[in-house]
C-alpha cells in the first residue's frame, strides 16, 4: 500500500512509529510536514528557543510543503496553510492518507483533497470530550467526523468521544498514545547507576534524603503548575512539608511561579532537552500533573512511568482513566483541588516504599500496553480495513 501521513511538523512522539511503519514490508510511506519549525518556533510556549537534541528526520521519506501562512506556526490553526497537499496527494496515487487530527488548516486541506480524489482518509486526533463545547461546535464535529474512513484511537476517552458522535466501533482502531519507553527507561536507569541519587540531588539543588515530586512541562495556564506551589504553601503554613518539589520547564508563568515559591522547598531547573530530562525522572520519586481538560492526554505521564515513576494527576488529564489506578500506578485528584493534592503528596511522601512499588507497576503497565508496536499494529489494521472497503 502507498500510504501518506500528513502532520504539522516532526514531533518526537510520532517519529518512532513513522519509522517502524516505513520499515514494514508492503508499506510505501511518504510523510508530509506543513513546516520545519526553527528554534524560536519550537520553543514558543516554553519561552526558550531550542531544537530537540535527537534525530527526527531519519528512517522515512518526507516532504516539507510550502506553508503560505503569513504567520507560520504549529500552535495556531492558521499557522499551517498548505494547499499544495492536493497536488502532492494526486501525484502520489496513495491508497490511504493518515492525518494528525484537525488542529491546523493543513489537516483539513488534506481531508478535503482526499474527498476530492477518492482516497480513504484516516484520522488520529486527541479529542476526548472532557472540555465543554458549545452545541454548535459539537454539531460541526459530528459532521466533520463523518468524512473520515477510519479512526485511530489514542485511549478510552478518545474512543468514547467518537462513539458519542455516532462513529461505528468497527471503524475505530487502537493506537495508544505512547513514548519511546526503552529510550526513557534505559536513560533513567543509566543516570541512577552511573551518577547516583546523591549526585543528581546536588545537580538540581535537592536534599538527598527527602522524597521528591516532579513537575515537567510548559509553565502555561492549562497545566496549572501554580496548584503545586499552592498545595505546598498550605502544608508549609502548618508545618514544614516532609518532601520537596522539582519544577522542570519554562514558559510565560515562570517568573510568577518563582516569586510565588519563595521560601518553599521548591526547586526550578529551567528547560531540559530530551537527553537531560531523564536525569530529572531518575532523581524524582513521583510525577505531579495538575492540568485542566486542555491536557488531552499528557505524554509526560508516559515518560515518567517508563522511567519507573508513579503519577499524581488531576481528573481532567486525558490519560488518567487509562494509566492511573489509585494506589497501584499513582493517584487522581479533582482538578483545582489544592487541598486534596496537598493531602496526596503528604500521604505518599510518608510511604517511600509504596511510591517505589507503584513506580514498578507503572513501568510494567506502560511497557506492556502503551508502546509503538501496538500503535503500528493498529495503523496496519486500519489500513487493511479501508483497503478491503475500497476493493
Per residue in 24-34, pLDDT (tens digit) is: 999 999 999 99
Residues 197 and 150 occupy one common structural domain = no
- Structure-model confidence comparison of residues 27 and 141, the more confident one: 27
CB-based contacts of 334: which residues, under 8 Å, 6+ apart?
314, 315, 340
Residues 283 and 352 occupy one common structural domain = yes
Model confidence band, residue 388 (pLDDT cutoffs 50, 70, 90): confident
Nearest by Cα to 289 from 249, 327, 253, 317: 317
Residue 41: the pLDDT is 85
Tens-place pLDDT, residues 51-97: 888 899 999 999 999 999 999 999 899 999 999 999 999 999 999 99
Nearest by Cα to 306 from 364, 260, 352: 364
CB-based contacts of 186: which residues, under 8 Å, 6+ apart?
none
Residues 149 and 7 occupy one common structural domain = yes
Is pLDDT at 134 greater than 90 in this prediction?
A: no
Is pLDDT at 381 greater than 90 in this prediction?
A: yes
Provide the mean pLDDT of the chain.
95
Instruction: Give the single-character DSSP code of 78.
Output: G
By DSSP bridging, strand 244-248 and strand 28-33 are: unpaired
Residue 390 covered by a domain: no
Tens-place pLDDT, residues 215-239: 999 999 999 999 999 999 999 877 7
Residue 310 covered by a domain: yes
Residues 230 and 106 occupy one common structural domain = no
Counting the structural domains of the chain, the total is 2
* 176 and 375 Cβ atoms separated by less than 8 Å: yes
Is pLDDT at 214 greater than 90 in this prediction?
A: yes
Residue 26 covered by a domain: yes
Is pLDDT at 4 greater than 90 in this prediction?
A: yes
- Structure-model confidence comparison of residues 109 and 142, the more confident one: 109
Residues 19 and 108 occupy one common structural domain = yes
Backbone angles phi, psi at 303, to 5 degrees: -60, -50
pLDDT above 70 coverage of the chain, percent: 100
- Domain harbouring 305, CATH code: 3.40.50.2000
* 108 and 132 Cβ atoms separated by less than 8 Å: no
Domain residues for 96?
Answer: 2-179+370-384
Residues 171 and 289 occupy one common structural domain = no
Backbone angles phi, psi at 24, to 5 degrees: -75, 135
Is pLDDT at 39 greater than 90 in this prediction?
A: no
Q: How far apart are CA 386 and CA 98, in angstroms?
A: 11
Q: pTM to 2 decimals?
A: 0.95
Locate the DSSP E strands across the chain.
Answer: 2-7, 28-33, 61-64, 96-99, 121-123, 150-153, 172-174, 212-216, 244-248, 266-270, 286-289, 311-314, 330-333
Residues 82 and 153 occupy one common structural domain = yes
Residue 288: CA count within 13 A, CB half-sphere: 35
Residues 212 and 239 occupy one common structural domain = yes
Residue 8 covered by a domain: yes
Residue 80 covered by a domain: yes
Residues 146 and 291 occupy one common structural domain = no
CA angle, 36 then 38 then 42, to 5° = 90
Residues 72 and 144 occupy one common structural domain = yes
Residue 202 covered by a domain: yes
Model confidence band, residue 146 (pLDDT cutoffs 50, 70, 90): very high
Counting other chains too, the contacts that 9-12 makes at CB distance below 8 Å and 24 or more residues apart are: 9/33, 9/34, 9/35, 9/36, 9/37, 9/74, 10/36, 10/56, 10/57, 10/62, 11/56, 12/52, 12/54, 12/56, 12/274
Residue 47: the pLDDT is 78
Residue 46: the pLDDT is 81
Residues 121 and 190 occupy one common structural domain = no
Residues 234 and 346 occupy one common structural domain = yes
Residue 225: the pLDDT is 98
By DSSP bridging, strand 212-216 and strand 286-289 are: parallel
Model confidence band, residue 299 (pLDDT cutoffs 50, 70, 90): very high
- Inter-axis angle of helices 299-306 and 274-283, nearest 10: 60
Amino acid at each position: 500500500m502507498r500510504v501518506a501521513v500528513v502532520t504539522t511538523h516532526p514531533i518526537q512522539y510520532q517519529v518512532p512509529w513513522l519509522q517502524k511503519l516505513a520499515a514494514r514490508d508492503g508499506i510505501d510511506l511518504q510523510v508530509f510536514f506543513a513546516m520545519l519549525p526553527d528554534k524560536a518556533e519550537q520553543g514558543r510556549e516554553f519561552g526558550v528557543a531550542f531544537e530537540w537534541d535527537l534525530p527526527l528526520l531519519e528512517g522515512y521519506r518526507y516532504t516539507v510543503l510550502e506553508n503560505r501562512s503569513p504567520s507560520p506556526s504549529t500552535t495556531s490553526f492558521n499557522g499551517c496553510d498548505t494547499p499544495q497537499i492536493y497536488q502532492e496527494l494526486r501525484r502520489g496515487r496513495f491508497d490511504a492518507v493518515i492525518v494528525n487530527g484537525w488542529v491546523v488548516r493543513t489537516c483539513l486541506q488534506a481531508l478535503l483533497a482526499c474527498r476530492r480524489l477518492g482516497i480513504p482518509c484516516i484520522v488520529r486526533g486527541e479529542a476526548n470530550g472532557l472540555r465543554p463545547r458549545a452545541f454548535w461546535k459539537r454539531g460541526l464535529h459530528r459532521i466533520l467526523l463523518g468524512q473520515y474512513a477510519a479512526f485511530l484511537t489514542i485511549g478510552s476517552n478518545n474512543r468514547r468521544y467518537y462513539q458519542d458522535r455516532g462513529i461505528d466501533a468497527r471503524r475505530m482502531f487502537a493506537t495508544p498514545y505512547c513514548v519511546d519507553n526503552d529510550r526513557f527507561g534505559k536513560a533513567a536507569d543509566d543516570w541512577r547507576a552511573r551518577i547516583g541519587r546523591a549526585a543528581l540531588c546536588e545537580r538540581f539543588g535537592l536534599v538527598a534524603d527527602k522524597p521528591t515530586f516532579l513537575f515537567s512541562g510548559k509553565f502555561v495556564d492549562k497545566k496549572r503548575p501554580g496548584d503545586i506551589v499552592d498545595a505546598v504553601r498550605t502544608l508549609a503554613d502548618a508545618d514544614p512539608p516532609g518532601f520537596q518539589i522539582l519544577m522542570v520547564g519554562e514558559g510565560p508563568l515562570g517568573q510568577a511561579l518563582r516569586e510565588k515559591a519563595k521560601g518553599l522547598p521548591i526547586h526550578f531547573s529551567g528547560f531540559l532537552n530530551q537527553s537531560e530530562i531523564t536525569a530529572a525522572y531518575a532523581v524524582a520519586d513521583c510525577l505531579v500533573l495538575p492540568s485542566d481538560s486542555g491536557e488531552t492526554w499528557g505524554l509526560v505521564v508516559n515518560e515518567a512511568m517508563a522511567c519507573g515513576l508513579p503519577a499524581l494527576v488531576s481528573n481532567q488529564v486525558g490519560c488518567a482513566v487509562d494509566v492511573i489506578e489509585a494506589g497501584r500506578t499513582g493517584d487522581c485528584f479533582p482538578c483545582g483541588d489544592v487541598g486534596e493534592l496537598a493531602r496526596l503528596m503528604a500521604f505518599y511522601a510518608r510511604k517511600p516504599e509504596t511510591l517505589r512499588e507503584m513506580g514498578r507497576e507503572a513501568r510494567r503497565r506502560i511497557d506492556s500496553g502503551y508502546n509503538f508496536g501496538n500503535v503500528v499494529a493498529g495503523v496496519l489494521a486500519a489500513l487493511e480495513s479501508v483497503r478491503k472497503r475500497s476493493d
